[in-house]
Structure 1
Amino acid sequence: MKLGGALAMVLAMLATGASDPQPRIFIASDSTAQDYKPEKYPQSGWGTMLRCAVPGVTVENRAIGGRSTNSFIREGRLDGIAKDLRKGDTLLIQFGHNDASIDKPERYTTIDQYKANLLRFLDVAKAAGAKAVILTPVARRDFKDGVEQPSFPTYADAAREVARSTRTPLIDLGKASQAWVQAAGPDAAKAYYLHYEGAAGAPGYPNGVSDDTHFSELGARRVADLVAVGLKATRLPIAKRITPHVPALTRTTPAGGPSCG
Structure 2
Amino acid sequence: MLKKYLLVALICSAFCSAAQPLTFKFDFGPGKAAKGYQKVDTNTIFSRERGFGFLPGASLKGIDRKGKDALRGDFISGDGAFYFSVVLPQGNYEVTAILGDRQGSSSATIRVENRRLMAGQVNTANGQVMSVNFTAHIRTPLIQGTQDKVRLKPRELAYLHWDDQLTIEFNGKDAKVCGLEIRPASPAIPVVFLAGNSTVVDQAEEPYAAWGQMIPAFFQPGKIAVANYAESGETLKAFRAEKRLDKILSQMKKGDYLFIEFAHNDQKPGGNHLDPFTTYKEMLKYYISEARKKGGIPVLVTSMHRRNFDENNKIINTLGDYPEAVRQTGKEEGVPVIDLNAMSKVLYEAWGPEASLKAFVHYPANTFPGQTQKLEDNTHFTPYGAYELARCVAEGIKSTVPDLAEYLKKDLPSFNPSAPDPYPAWYWPLSARISALKPDGN
Q: Secondary structure at the match of 1:143?
A: coil
Greater strand content: 2
- Picking from 63, 83, 108, the partner of 2:230 is 63
The amino acid that maps onto 2:267 is A
Task: Tell whether 2:206 aligns with 1:31.
Answer: no
Aligned to 2:360: 193
| TM value normalised by structure 1 | 0.83
Aligned to 1:48: 213
Aligned equivalents of 2:300, 2:430: Cα separation in 1: 28
| TM value normalised by structure 2 | 0.50
Aligned to 2:346: 179
Aligned to 1:92: 259
Q: CA deviation at 1:80?
A: 1.3
The amino acid that maps onto 1:46 is W
Q: Secondary structure at the match of 1:64?
A: coil
Uncovered stretches (5+) of structure 2, i.e. residues with no partner:
1-185, 432-442
Kindly report which structure 2 residues correspond to 1:101-120, keeping only aligned pairs within 5 A, or say none: 101-102=268-269, 105-111=270-276, 112-120=278-286
- Do the aligned partners of 1:23 and 1:238 also contact (CA within 8 Å) in 2? no
Aligned to 1:126: 292
- Picking from 367, 372, 383, the partner of 1:217 is 383
- Do the aligned partners of 2:190 and 2:255 also contact (CA within 8 Å) in 1? yes
Distance 1:206 1:88, change over 3 A: farther
The amino acid that maps onto 1:169 is P
Aligned to 1:256: 429
Uncovered stretches (5+) of structure 1, i.e. residues with no partner:
1-18
Aligned equivalents of 1:136, 1:207: Cα separation in 2: 32
Task: Tell whether 2:325 aligns with 1:158.
Answer: yes
- Do the aligned partners of 1:42 and 1:256 also contact (CA within 8 Å) in 2? no
Task: Tell whether 2:399 aligns with 1:226.
Answer: no
- Cα RMSD of the aligned pairs, angstroms, is 2.3
Corresponding pairs, count: 235
Greater helix content: 1
Distance 1:42 1:204, change over 3 A: farther
Aligned equivalents of 1:206, 1:230: Cα separation in 2: 39
**232-241 vs 172-181, which deviates more?**
232-241
- Percent same amino acid among aligned pairs? 29
Q: CA deviation at 1:204?
A: 7.8
Distance 1:204 1:45, change over 3 A: farther
- Do the aligned partners of 1:138 and 1:151 also contact (CA within 8 Å) in 2? no
Task: Tell whether 2:256 aligns with 1:83.
Answer: no
Q: CA deviation at 1:236?
A: 4.2
**55-64 vs 185-194, which deviates more?**
55-64
